[in-house]
Chain A
Amino acid sequence: MRFGRTPEQHAFSEALDDLLGAADVPSAARAWAGDDRSAGLKIWQRLAELSVTGLLVPESDGGVGADPVDLTVAFERLGYHGVPGPWIESVAVAPRLLGGTPEAGVLSRVASGEALVSVASGGRALDADVVEQTYALESRVGLDTPPPPPLVEPGERQRAGVETNTVASATLSRATVGSEQKSVDPSRRLFDVTAGDEVVTLDPRPALELGTLACAAMLHGAGLRLLDDSVAYVKQRTQFGRPIGEFQAVKHLLADVRVALDFAAPLIHNAALELDAEVPTAARAVSAAKVAAGDAAYLASRTALQVHGAIGYTREFDLSLWILRVRALVGAWGTPAEHRARILESLVVEPVETPSRGEI
């Protein structure tokens, strides 16, 4: 039995830290929010050189054909460093979604970092204004039934999102980009989209699961960052003549964050393994990872804000980048309620294998 990252994956993670730690990502994220994408795109190129953009692209298309665990390693670090841009869409979703379709040609350029693409999730697409192409997905219930309303119909967004995650057949189209919507995280540039030229009908689920998994890993990484920054801060901030980290009230808050993050990690790792093995419970595992990572990261953000006090409540202090990012990602790629419902349904409908005594 072996459950955990390989030495190569640890090394990959460290290489990403080296690169991103020196890249002044917070400034790039702020500029991205303010319409200047140059620094963010430069980071995109540097990460492309480390093959991040080609992780899931097959070797035949110039990618590295890595597995979902590698994906989680990369996205955890992207989350940790707060990198802006359509990473989930271009790197986690597009390869599986577009592979084998008439759009597959773009993948080699995705791998090389030349092309960014976006995929609408829940009716809106991230960074549709900078990518080469935005894609939309419409769920198809059956050939004879008319397709349900487009994902962007107001009020229908939530349910449409679930449908694409659970419905086996969807229409992939090149999307028409509409107006921008303001997100709680200013570096998340969201655009309404409508379906345009139809490309193909496909099963979108494997690609969407990879997107959800990447989002979970990103949340986990953001949570780790919030914890690290908070621990550093409470050692240095003094009140009442001592570092505030000496107060048990502060210590306990931070310890609870560590517990939550530590227990999200194995769920993410397992979901990656299950997706790779294409086992029937993979979707449930992905949902569990997303829920746990979202809860842990949100706890980290709440706690980070609280132990920082007023300075954490400001935009100019970098902590806010992660606080706002986490708030947005918690509800992206399926809300906690949707994922919990999916887990519950799976547990109730599919028989759960009870582990043998030896396994307990």
Chain B
Amino acid sequence: MPIDFERQRAVCSALRAFMPEHNVLFDREDVTPYECDGLSAYRQVPMVVALPENEAQVCEILETCHAMRVPVVARGAGTGLSGGALPLGNGVLLSLAKLKNILAIDTQARIARVQPGVRNLAISEAAAPHGLYYAPDPSSQIACSIGGNVAENSGGVHCLKYGLTVHNILKLRVATIEGEIVELGGGGLDAAGYDLMALMTGSEGLLGVVTEITVKLLPRPECAQVVLAAFDDVGAAGQAVANVIAAGIIPAGMEMMDQAATLAVEPFVNAGYPTDAAGILLCESDGTREEVADEIARIEKIMRDSGAHLVRVSQDEAERLKFWAGRKAAFPAVGRLSPDYYCMDGTIPRRRLAEVLRGIAAMEKNYNLRCANVFHAGDGNLHPLILYDANDPGQLQRAELFGAEILKLCIDVGGTITGEHGVGIEKIDSMCVQFGAAELETFHALKRAFDEHELLNPGKAVPTLHRCAEFGRMHVHSGKEKFPELPRF
């Protein structure tokens, strides 16, 4: 979208009336770093970038944009994987990066009050001297912001036991598009009225701008140990996961990687993964020493009984971290195999795992692209990583079609198109597959309940019915014209 320079000047001068000049950017080279988030296939330079230094400025920016009817896209650290923070060429990109103070840590109440630009890991680091930590741990935790986590309802490898962002926050301060502050949640465990804090969580910057977050801190578990189990068959690995749950165990983490993923990771980090296995499981237990000893023994036995041909238990903290290092480095490791990769994020009922992986394997052949699978197995959240080369014409489009087909398969088996990365711009068409017109209309009505003129991150997360109608036509069209040889799942 070309920039309207007259409008740009007007917006800049309106913002500079209350903000220092250096915090209102519009020069091409100044705004280009904001042209995309972690989904770099989509790029757009914003008309203006605003860098508020405090909540009052956030409110003033919003009030100004509201009055001028300028759309606003909030941005945390820009690590989002669905294009949620993709700017608009006629809009203001509102970066929360300068709001990065930890305002208070109350060790007795076990809470931290932080600004939205604070990095996820920084909270746990600040709480560590008190034996406390913030539980949700997305793999991007060294970089992603807590405000972005709230906007995406981010999870991590430990969320099966400790919950997602929504389960670990107590209170939000949110600026409305009119520039007014509302407090959602509260000092207690619930608040009067509707649970708008839950609604705000995961709303991808479409309902309000989060300016302050009170998070829960948990006591560090006394100890943790992880079991590494290797299987000749991913179906058996999936069954092992079900068997652990059936035994009444909720592991602190339960992750699966297929052979393509372990082959990518092992040379990169030497985590000690057996690369001849069809799939490996990492299953962690944490808690008191007694609890962990008990649980690890039971998990070990279940893994063997479920057909694991190799079972190893971390013997010390160093080995535990080594086992995890491989999983945590999975994305970058896969990234080394191929110029580009495309990370998917569907969730499925776990019992359908083998079937879904077989479906993905067939798609690899059909689209002639490789795919490595990393899986939050405990809660059924699948991250297929589709490898492609953006410089080879056609590969990106093939990767996107491949991805959309995986998401369709996830819906068909009773799952969802996104477990934790959000819809953003990336999965907006897949929303038409997952939801009917009535649900989409409800979403739009709720959006207008907060943002009458639809100025907050418009065009993201929820497709218009018109777009879905177009998509329906296009889908059939491309199926016929472009890849007639591909079977549809």
Binding partners A and B: no
**Residues of chain B at the chain A interface (Cβ within 8 Å):** none
Using CB atoms and an 8 Å cutoff, list the residues of chain A in contact with chain B.
Answer: none
